Chains A and B, each alone.
Chain A
């Protein structure tokens, strides 16, 4: 465990150097939120209306939280780095190191978002309070509860993205699949909550990673209910367990293939 802590610390230090660069990425986040504020401002023409059970403020805060997760968890390590390690043959050196490669990558990923996420969180809160307004019914319990859910969501996201990268053991280029995953999250998960979708589609979307990666945490922030909290948390833990299992399984298979075919 100690070695992962050392890796974590060094990545943290490395990324602190880029804090200013990360802050420049705020522009992009701000643009997204800005577009949503305008878009929903237009959609909620009359004040006091609700769409899919959400008020205008809740709707915008929802997108702000999902985008915060999205931007905070953005990482070249789990996607690009891992797949180029595997395709470029670097993996042969890395897998014989005294750590588990997948955990090494996830530790690096954690080091990255440990800097990014808090920065985006500050931004989100600042933008939200000045441009959208406070959320009614959001208090300390909701804050602590949803924080746990957000961290779990980000970790699940990393595990899934790494799983996709591990496909590089077999296929030439895993980026199209990263795209597919990203699109799933971005288009179906971040822009608006599941309730906006046609009724028939809703149960289907609840089964995808969207529910645990972005919908769940954001929903808890926007509209906190104790019973729903437990449901989301359970789903997240289940997803994490399944995701990790899949990750170890695929990695093991990949390494075996490497030994047989010599890369």
Chain B
């Protein structure tokens, strides 16, 4: 803790504090942002609650589709109904977690194209983290709850529940990083916004179908281009049939993708600051 007297001096004179305090302050500001975002959504309580409930219902309604498909055949792509539920729970949970904390990443192109990053550039905090935590999506809370409901309805052992939660976090990290990467394309190409959204769409669409129905090149695509495989498929396999290597691969991938996307974002931010995107906002 800083002493009261010299702290203002420290901030005012150099703006330099040691990195640990800086990191702590940064995390504090981010959590405060998230808290305030959620408080804002809660102003209208009816809308807040209906949004959450409808999202839970929405996710649950897809189980109807699967129930009907499983009536036709007992296993689909090597999955039983139980595993499809696990897949859905993991997808919804990851998606929810990511959109509760970092919803703004998903509208990054809009910020970039309309010059709305300016407001974050005059703040003495990490631009990316400030931007990411500057909004939330209410329905995402429903997604996260749905993921947790799935755990309750499944007969997973304690260890597997822990794995599930862990993979929800890595999944959220992967979606967020992927969205950041796709959104950052707008720094270079204005029209990339839709393409990026499509890629994200693909990530989520594939995430709710068993990987066993895909073969060959597509499987490769789903593990290495669109990271659905690392987000949910591999985690589902690791949960049903534990495999330490798989666990480590998912971890490594999540970190690598995050590093790459952050790098690309800052590259793009340099372009933004050079005014190369000025056409839309002179």
- Give chain A's interface residues, CB within 8 Å of chain B: 20-21, 24-25, 27-28, 31-32, 34-35, 38-39, 41-43, 51, 172-173, 175-176, 179-180, 183, 187-188, 191-192, 196-198
**Max chain A CB contacts within 10 Å: which of B191, B194, B199?**
B194
Total residues of chain B contacting the partner, CB 8 A = 33
Residues of A within 8 A of B191 (CB): 20-21, 24
Residues of A within 8 A of B77 (CB): 42
Given A24-B194, A25-B198, verify A41-B206 contact (CB < 8 Å).
no
B281 sits at the interface (CB 8 A): no
Partner of B64, one of A28, A180, A187: A187
Q: How far is the CB of B233 from chain A (nearest CB, A)?
A: 14
**Residue contacts A-B, CB under 8 angstroms, 21 given:** A24-B191, A27-B195, A31-B201, A31-B205, A35-B205, A35-B206, A35-B213, A38-B213, A38-B215, A39-B76, A39-B209, A42-B212, A43-B72, A43-B76, A51-B72, A173-B51, A179-B54, A187-B62, A192-B68, A196-B68, A197-B68
Given A21-B194, A25-B198, A172-B47, verify A32-B58 contact (CB < 8 Å).
no
> Would A173 and B198 count as touching, CB distance under 8 A?
no
Given A24-B191, A24-B195, A39-B209, verify A172-B46 contact (CB < 8 Å).
yes
Given A25-B198, A28-B201, verify A191-B44 contact (CB < 8 Å).
no
Identity of the chain A residue whose Cβ is nearest the Cβ of B194 in the assembled complex: A24
> Would B65 and A32 count as touching, CB distance under 8 A?
no
Identity of the chain A residue whose Cβ is nearest the Cβ of B47 in the assembled complex: A173
Given A27-B202, A172-B46, verify A42-B213 contact (CB < 8 Å).
yes
- A-B interface, 9 closest residue pairs, ranked by CB to CB distance from nearest: A27-B198, A24-B194, A176-B54, A38-B213, A42-B213, A173-B47, A31-B202, A28-B201, A176-B50
B24 sits at the interface (CB 8 A): no
Per-position binary interface string of chain B over residues 9-51, scored 1 when its CB falls under 8 Å from any chain A CB and 0 otherwise = 0000000000000000000000000000000000010110011
Residues of B within 8 A of A51 (CB): 72
Identity of the chain A residue whose Cβ is nearest the Cβ of B50 in the assembled complex: A176
Identity of the chain A residue whose Cβ is nearest the Cβ of B63 in the assembled complex: A187
Within 8 A of A (CB), among B186-229: 191, 194-195, 198-199, 201-202, 205-206, 209, 212-215, 218
